[in-house]
């Protein structure tokens, strides 16, 4: 952090020509702490905030952040929120902090973040900032002794599709896009200036174990599992709904096809008789006929998101269960000793 601006400018100049893919998100310790503080204070309510920083080649540096006030469900507040954001940026520029928006952060509850809103917000950001990330912090998981921090971005192919709003089965197949390919997770690297590192080392006591490590040993995981189960069940319901929608679509499609066939057959018979009578055959397509109006295919986006969500929960359960088992075995061993 000694002279980040100079380096970053150089890098920016270099990468302007070849847009190298984003590889790492590098976050300042300060920013992380601010995020954690904000999210934890308001938990279990969900909060968001702005990320500020620099885009340097394949590395996105997040150097600072500020929280958004909790939004109330009002249209006036929308404007207020935007104003707040601008004011905040102005103030930060005045104190000479990085005021380049690179994304936003938000808190989540047990990883239930894969929603349409997230994607919409992301697309909004994406319009203005070519490279942006979303950092997601899960305070509830962090109580388990893990730093549940994630940096996400949408995959390019997905964004293409989303812009065209084209989530039919055919397009998805064309792009070879499955539910796994919606989000890309980017590794996070925490960087601190040398001064801070030194200070921290100085602060650190002699004890080799931290509070975080104690948390990790906590045995009661039931509430966490239960919550996850609840969410999973909800997801299942949602998925069934989606499936139903799709089935309905499929049925109406097949019905329509049958109708079309019937119509075509009739028309052909008519044409044959007309031909016999020496008249002009009627066209075999009739766009005005309601039979040929295409049935709108339901978007697969929702089901993709739900699937993502389910995968997320499953991973969490897996992780927690695995940890729990090892903890239990440890306990057993301790008891035997």
Partner 1 sequence: MASRFWTSQGGSDSEEEESDYDEEIENGAPVDPATQAAGSRYLKENPSDSDDSGDQKRVVRSAKDKRFEEMSATVDQMKNAMKINDWVSLQESFDKMNKQLEKVMRLTESEKAPNLYIKALVMLEDFLSQALANKDAKKKMSSSNAKALNSMKQKLKKNNKQYEDLISRYREKPESEEERDEDEDEDEETDSEIEEDPTKIEFKDSEDEDDEKGGDSQDEDDGEWEKKMSKREKLMDKQFKNPSEVTWDTVNKKFKEVVAARGRRGTGRFEQVEQLAFLTKVAKTPAQKIEILFSVVSAQFDVNPGLNGHMPINVWKKCVQNMFVILDILIQYPNIVVDDMVESDENETQKGPDYNGTIQVWGNLVAFVERLDAEFFKSLQCIDPHTREYVERLRDEPLFSVLAQNVQDYLERVSDFKAAAKVALKRIELIYYKPQEVYDAMRKLAEQTGDRDNGEAGEEHKVVEESRGPSPFIVTPELVPRKPTFPENSRTLMDCLVSLIYKYGDERTKARAMLCDIYHHAILDEFSTSRDLLLMSHLQDSIQHMDISTQILFNRAMAQLGLCAFRVGLITEGHGCLSELYSGGRVKELLAQGVSQSRYHEKTPEQERIERRRQMPYHMHINLELLEAVHLICAMLLEVPNIAANTHDPKRKVISKTFRRLLEMSERQTFTGPPENVRDHIMAATRALSKGDFEKAFDVITSLDAWKLFRNRDNVLEMLKAKIKEEALRTYLFTYSSSYDALSLDQLIKMFDLSDAQIHSIVSKMMISEELYASWDQPTQCIVFHDVEHTRLQALAFQLTEKLSVLAESNERATEARIGGGGLDLPPRRRDNQDYNAVGGRWQESFSFTQGRQGGGSGRTGYGAGGGRPLALGQAAGGGYSRDRTGQSRGTGAGYPGTRYQDAAYGGGSGRSAYQSGSSVRGSQMDISNRMVSLNRGFRS
User: What residues line the site for partner 1 (CB under 8 A)?
Assistant: 222, 225-226, 229-230, 232-233, 236-237, 239-240, 243-244, 246-247, 250-251, 254
24: its two tokens: 């790492």
**Least distance from partner 1 to the Cβ atom of residue 217, Å:** 20
Pick the closer one to partner 1 by CB: 225 or 295. 225
Pick the closer one to partner 1 by CB: 167 or 224. 224
Pick the closer one to partner 1 by CB: 220 or 337. 220
Length of the chain as a residue count:
337
Pick the closer one to partner 1 by CB: 191 or 324. 324
Pick the closer one to partner 1 by CB: 32 or 235. 235
Q: Between the CA atoms of 128, 149, 12 and 96, what dihedral angle is there, to the nearest 10 degrees?
A: 80
DSSP calls for 146-210: ---EEEEEE-HHHHHHHHHT---HHHHHHHT--GGGSEEEE-EEEE--HHHHHHHHHH--S-S--
**What is the rounded CA–CA span in Å between residue 263 and residue 257?**
10
Greatest Cα pair distance, the chain, in angstroms, is: 104
**Least distance from partner 1 to the Cβ atom of residue 304, Å:** 16
**Least distance from partner 1 to the Cβ atom of residue 119, Å:** 24
265, 75 in Cβ contact below 8 A? no
**What is the rounded CA–CA span in Å between residue 305 and residue 115?**
6
**Least distance from partner 1 to the Cβ atom of residue 130, Å:** 40
Backbone angles phi, psi at 234, to 5 degrees: -60, -45
Nearest to 158 by CA among 175, 135, 133, 134: 175
**Least distance from partner 1 to the Cβ atom of residue 248, Å:** 9
245: its two tokens: 């929608």
Pick the closer one to partner 1 by CB: 229 or 330. 229
C-beta pairs of 192-201 under 8 Å, 24+ apart in sequence: 192/1, 192/28, 192/29, 193/1, 193/2, 194/2, 196/29
CB atoms within 10 A of CB 281: 13
320, 326 in Cβ contact below 8 A? no
**Least distance from partner 1 to the Cβ atom of residue 230, Å:** 7
14: its two tokens: 């270099």
**Least distance from partner 1 to the Cβ atom of residue 159, Å:** 29
Pick the closer one to partner 1 by CB: 68 or 246. 246
**Least distance from partner 1 to the Cβ atom of residue 110, Å:** 14
CB atoms within 10 A of CB 246: 15
**Least distance from partner 1 to the Cβ atom of residue 178, Å:** 16
Nearest to 11 by CA among 59, 56, 63: 56
Pick the closer one to partner 1 by CB: 48 or 303. 303
Pick the closer one to partner 1 by CB: 180 or 241. 241
Query: Peptide bond preceding 44: is omega within 30 degrees of 0, i.e. cis?
Result: yes
């Amino acid at each position: 952090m000694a002279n980040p601006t100079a380096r970053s400018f150089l890098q920016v100049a270099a990468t302007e020509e070849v847009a190298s893919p984003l590889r790492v998100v590098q976050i300042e310790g300060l920013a992380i702490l601010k995020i954690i503080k904000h999210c934890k204070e308001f938990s279990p309510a969900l909060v968001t905030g702005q990320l500020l920083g620099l885009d340097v080649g394949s590395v996105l540096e997040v150097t600072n952040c500020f929280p958004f006030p909790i939004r109330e469900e009002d249209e006036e507040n929308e404007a207020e929120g935007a104003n707040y954001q601008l004011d905040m940026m102005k103030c930060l520029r005045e104190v000479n902090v990085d005021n380049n928006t690179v994304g936003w952060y938000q808190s989540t509850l047990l990883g239930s973040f894969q929603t349409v809103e997230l994607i919409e917000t992301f697309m909004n950001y994406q319009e203005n900032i070519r490279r942006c990330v979303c950092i997601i912090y899960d305070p509830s998981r962090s109580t388990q002794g893990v730093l549940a921090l994630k940096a996400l971005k949408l995959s390019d192919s997905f964004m293409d599709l989303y812009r065209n709003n084209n989530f039919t089965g055919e397009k998805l197949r064309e792009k070879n896009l499955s539910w796994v390919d919606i989000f890309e997770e980017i590794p996070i690297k925490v960087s601190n200036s040398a001064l801070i590192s030194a200070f921290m080392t100085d602060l650190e006591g002699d004890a080799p174990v931290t509070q975080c490590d104690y948390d990790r040993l906590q045995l009661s995981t039931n509430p966490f599992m239960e919550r996850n189960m609840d969410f999973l069940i909800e997801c299942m319901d949602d998925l069934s709904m989606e499936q139903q929608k799709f089935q309905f679509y499929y049925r109406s499609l097949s019905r329509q096809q049958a109708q079309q066939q019937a119509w075509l057959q009739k028309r052909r018979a008519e044409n044959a008789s007309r031909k016999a009578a020496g008249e002009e055959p009627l066209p075999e397509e009739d766009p005005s006929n309601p039979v040929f109006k295409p049935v709108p295919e339901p978007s697969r986006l929702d089901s993709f998101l739900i699937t993502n969500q389910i995968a997320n929960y499953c991973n969490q359960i897996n992780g927690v269960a695995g940890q729990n088992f090892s903890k239990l075995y440890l306990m057993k061993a301790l008891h035997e000793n």
